Amino acid sequence: MTDAAPAAAEIDAVLAGPDEEALRKMSEWATAGSPEAQTILGQMLMDGRGGPADPVAGFGWFLKAARAGRPMAANMVGRCYENGWGVTPSDEAATSWFAQAAHAGLDWGMYNFATSLALGRGVAENKAAARAWLEKAVALGHAKSMTVLGGFHEDGWAGPVDTAQARSLYERGAAGGDFRGAFNVGRLLVEDGRAAEASSFFQTAWRTGTPAFRDNLLSWLESRAEPTLQGLRRALQAGR
């Protein structure tokens, strides 16, 4: 095994150690031409892991790895263009890179490309194509895609309304760790009159959700009349 192609176990061992040493070693391997190390180094620079954050340099390493054929790096180049991380934002460029990652078989690429298609972001809106890509990602076990595809079934996008299938997909998404999946399972339980049973799903969504999602969850709970949910809202607010 050459320095340009470190073994997976070697990479794992380095990442398990001190961040500063991991950054140094990933830089060495990335410079030597390892696409895997380039992808990891890009993420470390984005996150400021092992040293100061450097989104511009992080984007550059993602781009090198993507051009070398790494699907996850292509997906991350898309994310950089989507969010303006180290590069000028461009929906068109983001979607193009997501499409590349999706066609290479990456579940996250499929999810992000499907999102662009569903929203018409950087590409013509095409919910039928979005649904097809979500189905591919779900077949690979991608939890967030399960939740989003559940929404397609619930709302009747590019197909008939199927609440039972939506519920099943939300449950699978929640089981896979997606906080929005957990919320949607809880929401449907509330609609069934099972607010007490729903509370555990809302608590899971709260623990694992983003700060913005937590704010939205509190607003949703505040809009409900069920005493159980009002009690949950107060408990969540008190525990912030």
How is residue 154 written in tokens? 């619930």
State the alpha helices, DSSP H only, in 48-194. 55-67, 71-83, 91-103, 107-119, 127-139, 143-155, 163-175, 179-191
Angle formed at CA 203 by CA 197 and CA 207, multiple of 5 degrees: 160
CB of 238 within 8 A of CB of 204? Answer: no
Residue 170 CA to chain centroid, in angstroms?
Answer: 15
CB of 6 within 8 A of CB of 36? Answer: yes
pTM of the model: 0.94
Alpha-carbon dihedral sign for residues 98, 99, 100, 103 = positive
pLDDT-derived band at 215 (thresholds 50, 70, 90) equals: very high
Read off the amino acid at residue 99. Answer: A
Provide the pLDDT for residue 198: 98
Q: What is the DSSP letter of 192?
A: T
Across the chain, mean pLDDT equals: 97
Residue-wise pLDDT tens digits, 119-173: 999 999 999 999 999 999 999 999 999 999 999 999 999 999 999 999 999 999 9
pLDDT-derived band at 16 (thresholds 50, 70, 90) equals: very high
pLDDT of 13 above 90: yes
Residue-wise pLDDT tens digits, 66-119: 999 999 999 999 999 999 999 999 999 999 999 999 999 999 999 999 999 999
pLDDT-derived band at 240 (thresholds 50, 70, 90) equals: confident
The candidate with the shortest Cα–Cα distance to 85, out of 108, 68, 100, 63, is 63
Q: State mean pLDDT over 207-223.
A: 98
Q: State mean pLDDT over 197-214.
A: 98
pLDDT of 228 above 50: yes
pLDDT of 32 above 70: yes
Q: For residues 115 and 79, what is the distance between their CA atoms, to the nearest angstrom?
A: 12
CB of 110 within 8 A of CB of 144? Answer: no
CB of 94 within 8 A of CB of 84? Answer: no
Provide the pLDDT for residue 4: 54
Provide the pLDDT for residue 139: 98
Q: For residues 229 and 203, what is the distance between their CA atoms, to the nearest angstrom?
A: 11
14, 103, 131 from 61: Cα distances, Å: 19, 21, 31
The candidate with the shortest Cα–Cα distance to 185, out of 125, 143, 129, 127, is 143
